[in-house]
Structure 1
Amino acid sequence: MITFSEALERFSDGIVEGMRGVLVAMASRTQSAAPPSAVQHDVHQPRSTHTWVVAVGSVEAPGDGRWYLRQAATYTTHGGLNVSRELWPRPSSNLGLRTVRIACIKKPMVFEFQDRGGGRKGLDEAGGYIVEVMRVVQQHLNFTAVLVATQGFGLLMDNGSWNGMVGVLQRREADMAALDFTPSWRRAQVVDFSRAIGEDAVVIISRAPAPVVKPFLLMQIFTPLVWACLVGVALSMGVVLGLVWWTETHLFDHLAARGQVKGHIIQQMVNVLRIHVNQGSVVWPRGGAGRMGATGAILVALVVASVYSGSITAFLAIPFRSAPLDSVEDLVRSEVRPALRSRTLVLQTLTGVGGALAGVRQRVGVFTGDHTSSSWFFSQVADGTYALVDVYSSAVGRANRFERRRDNCKFYLGRTPVKVDLDVMAFVKNSPILQQVDHVILRLRHHGIIQHIKHTFYSVACQAQVTSRGTRPLNLLKVQGALYLLVTGLLVSTLCYLAERLCCHRFNSSSSTTVSTPPPHTPQL
């Protein structure tokens, strides 16, 4: 028989780093006792009792890589539970300068380092958003970082193994992969993921909207329906004036005899069109009805000219630009080809069954990471041949390297994300440092430090102007206010005409009465 303390020491020698659990040992003691009733009646009837003793030991890690079993609690039948330390103690936040191997790849603005032969590279020789976050984590946990460079995040191959950083962790050639991973169920079978360090949306980087020259811009102030209505009204008024002129010619022959009535329906239609263009005419009807119709034509021409001239300023001042690609729907409907990086989860999800780009899979261009980081590729994006579809950190980081720092931007960041993913780090299964790193990540997110670091690296270098499609043409709904003014003007002009006719009638009546009255007879002497 060994004591519980000896058992703890023996089991401590076999504990593997990262193991979790408790050691429980139970023992019982049998005692004979006589109850008070037995003492009174029968002293020869003894009673047996059992006393249970339970000891609990928990795993404890001081942080230097060693793991121990320590007695944490005891329980006895009569004494109850006595807890001396935590059953699940938190690992130490001081790793004692232990070496942590960090798998990494080159990703612009995220994790960048220089290739060199031989020697071990640390975080001091790298740069980027994730590198800055890891430097803060290293400062809190006190470990020594060694970079293990590889290629790609990691995809499942046909033989069942993984490549990239996931493969490095699966083979335990590194302790963690410090990059912005997108978690997936397949990856979670071979690695553990940390808490989310942020969000990384899948965005579209395309050509910046360029100014568009429209030769017939002044004809686009009104919609085609409004233009058709204006021409129809002008022609209708010409027909009405022609009919009125013909009627006045035949009913009032004295007007025709004096040569004051000239023309016919076609001439009046041309005359009304001239009124709209020239704001005046050399031929005017002389009859009352014709004058009233001509006045209405003048009012229509003035209102149309005022609305047209007032809108010219807006159409000339606000530039027209090509339509931007703000969403994946805009990209699918356009002639621009989507471009995605090979061997990425974004490519698998967007072009797979049910993906946003599954319907245009034959148009999708697939490029390696080196190609999407080249000036040739972004020249293709700048001229509208391709549009890069990638996570925000990768797309913006690559585009900023070739963007102008002036007003005329080369690239445009779509406003609507294709989808939003979480950013996590990857660790080997049952990692002994995952809990400590998670604790630091929670504190950094709570205080906004991670978002501040990310904004420093991922601010868009040039904000493209998207006052996009200029001023829209005026439709019937927009010009209805001018139509109300026109109707009011026609009513006022009609009332003025009627008042003029009434005054003339009264004046003519009084004049004819005065002329027809004979002078008084004066007797001659």
Structure 2
Amino acid sequence: MAGNASCLRIAVADDRLFLIVSKGPPYKITGVLVEIMAIIANYMGVCYEWVVPKDGLYGYMLPNGTWTGMLGLVNRSEADMAGIISITSRYKQAVDVSEPLYMDEYGVMHKRPVLQSDILGFYKPFTSLMWVTLLLCVLATTAVTAAILHWESVFSRPGGNRGDKQRNNFLSSCAKSIHWNFSHLLSQAVWWAPTGNPGRVVGGIWLVSALILTTVYRSNLKAMLIMPRIVLPFDNLKELSESNIVMYVTKGNYFHDYVMQAPSDSVVGSLRKQVDAHENIPRAIAEIVGGQVAGAGPMANIAVVMHEFFSKTGSCPLYVMSETFMKSTSRSIAIRKGAEFKPKVDRAIRGLKEFGILDHLLQKALVNATECLKPVTFNLGSESLRTLDLGDFYGVFAIYAGGVFLGCATFIIEVCTSLAKKKQGE
């Protein structure tokens, strides 16, 4: 843009919230900072002009100590001020910073998971440990019941339990025990009941236990259908580091520097292997929405992405992990080193904060972000519940098919065994 020596030169780069820069000259500058700078310039009684760096980027320090982007313009005194930055020790070496406009924190956003068919849905009302415990209880109860029935059979016929008869009585006791215990666990009627007191005691205990287990299972399964639980890929930095999901971060920003300098054995340092740092924001957002990467950044910038999607589509394709970090991040205007107008800028910003104007401007720009920043399960009402499809029944059908196959196999084995015995008898 054409320069004017009497006007403040303000370097800008697109961050989709505080500054939105159109593609190609003549540039159109919009955003929250445009309104803020208009108020500050009016208070100072000066004019101002926007300066767009050739690379159009925020900028970061190169290995030789020079700076790129809009921060490079301010550092080289080619601009007097630059758009909102997070205050870091590295930035303060290159530029002065104004009174903080906002206090922000960092978060990570990722593609929002959706309700899908779950072939193991019937298995999930209980944990794996609970299922193993239940199996052991069934086996133990079956064994005890079979032993009691066999003991009662032996002592009720003391003179006729030898050889094949004793073996047949034992097999009959096992069959009755298995049928008794598994039928009650599946809430099926049983034609037979124990006659002796020991069998009745064990059977009564098992009946009550089976009633409790089946009631709890049905209640949990019903609750999972009414209010489904969505499993998030991650909900804090530790889970993110364990997931190995690639994490986009703006190159050279506060969090990027923090990750690169953190000890490798720390949670933040362990994210270093997953970092994808660049300044191509449109590409990064497309990859985040596609579920290819997660995106880390200030919550204000994350909120504007949510705002844009909800404003255009009425939906929230992204979620933000509930655990935020770096909660005391100051967002300020970068100012040329030694600038004589800095005290006036600071005084104007303090006035805007005290009257709540800064918060009002920010909230006005993010009015549609509120819905998408709610917890993922917050708005899972009747409108978002997924109707059951065939995939939800595959697990139960597989169990049923397995039972039918096992029954057919048992029947065939019995027939073959019977035929073999007949041939041996002939």
State TM-score, norm by structure 1. 0.60
- Over aligned residues, Cα RMSD in angstroms? 3.3
Kindly indicate whether residue 292 of structure 2 is the aligned counterpart of residue 385 of structure 1. Answer: yes
Question: 1:307 aligns to what?
Answer: 216
Alignment of 1:225-374 (within 5 A): 225-253=129-157, 264-271=172-179, 272-354=181-263, 357-369=268-280, 372-374=281-283
Distance 1:414 1:404, change over 3 A: farther
Return the structure number with greater strand share.
Answer: 1
CA distance in 2, matches of 1:408, 1:109: 19
CA distance in 2, matches of 1:217, 1:392: 35
Question: 2:125 aligns to what?
Answer: 221
Distance 1:254 1:408, change over 3 A: farther
Query: Match of 1:331, as an amino acid?
Result: L
Distance 1:399 1:407, change over 3 A: closer
Contact 2:322 2:375 in 1 (8 A): no
CA distance in 2, matches of 1:365, 1:287: 72
Distance 1:301 1:335, change over 3 A: same
Instruction: Report the CA distance between 1:189 and its aligned residue.
Output: 4.0
Deviates more, 1:406-415 or 1:433-442: 406-415
Kindly indicate whether residue 303 of structure 2 is the aligned counterpart of residue 396 of structure 1. Answer: yes
Distance 1:427 1:219, change over 3 A: closer
Question: 1:103 aligns to what?
Answer: 11
Kindly indicate whether residue 364 of structure 2 is the aligned counterpart of residue 456 of structure 1. Answer: yes
In the alignment, which of 127, 148, 151 is matched to residue 30 of structure 2? 127
Aligned residue pairs total 360
**Structure 1 residues 17-47: Cα deviation after superposition (integer angstroms, max 9, x where no partner):** xxxxxxxxxxxxxxxxxxxxxxxxxxxxxxx
Q: Which 5+ residue runs of structure 2 have no aligned equivalent?
A: 1-5, 162-167, 381-426
Contact 2:259 2:271 in 1 (8 A): no
Query: Match of 2:287, as an amino acid?
Result: Q
Distance 1:114 1:218, change over 3 A: closer
Query: Match of 1:129, as an amino acid?
Result: V
Question: 2:344 aligns to what?
Answer: 436
**Structure 1 residues 464-513: Cα deviation after superposition (integer angstroms, max 9, x where no partner):** 65239x9xxxxxxxxxxxxxxxxxxxxxxxxxxxxxxxxxxxxxxxxxxx
Tell me which structure has the larger Cα radius of gyration. 1
Q: Say which SS state the counterpart of residue 181 (structure 1) adopts.
A: strand
CA distance in 1, matches of 2:340, 2:197: 103
Kindly indicate whether residue 60 of structure 2 is the aligned counterpart of residue 155 of structure 1. Answer: yes
Q: Say which SS state the counterpart of residue 380 (structure 1) adopts.
A: helix
Residue identity over aligned pairs, in percent, reads 19
Q: Say which SS state the counterpart of residue 110 (structure 2) adopts.
A: strand
In the alignment, which of 194, 201, 226 is matched to residue 105 of structure 2? 201
CA distance in 1, matches of 2:263, 2:37: 36
CA distance in 1, matches of 2:212, 2:302: 52
Distance 1:324 1:265, change over 3 A: same
Contact 2:248 2:293 in 1 (8 A): yes
Contact 1:279 1:301 in 2 (8 A): no
Contact 1:194 1:427 in 2 (8 A): yes
CA distance in 1, matches of 2:129, 2:293: 37
**Structure 1 residues 55-111: Cα deviation after superposition (integer angstroms, max 9, x where no partner):** xxxxxxxxxxxxxxxxxxxxxxxxxxxxxxxxxxxxxxxxxxx62222222221211
CA distance in 1, matches of 2:11, 2:58: 10
The answer to which structure, 1 or 2, has the higher relative contact order (CA under 8 A, 6+ apart) is 2
Distance 1:404 1:319, change over 3 A: farther
CA distance in 2, matches of 1:327, 1:113: 33
Instruction: Report the CA distance between 1:452 and its aligned residue.
Output: 1.6
Instruction: Report the CA distance between 1:400 and its aligned residue.
Output: 4.1
Contact 1:137 1:440 in 2 (8 A): yes
Distance 1:164 1:309, change over 3 A: closer
Contact 2:73 2:79 in 1 (8 A): yes
CA distance in 1, matches of 2:155, 2:48: 109
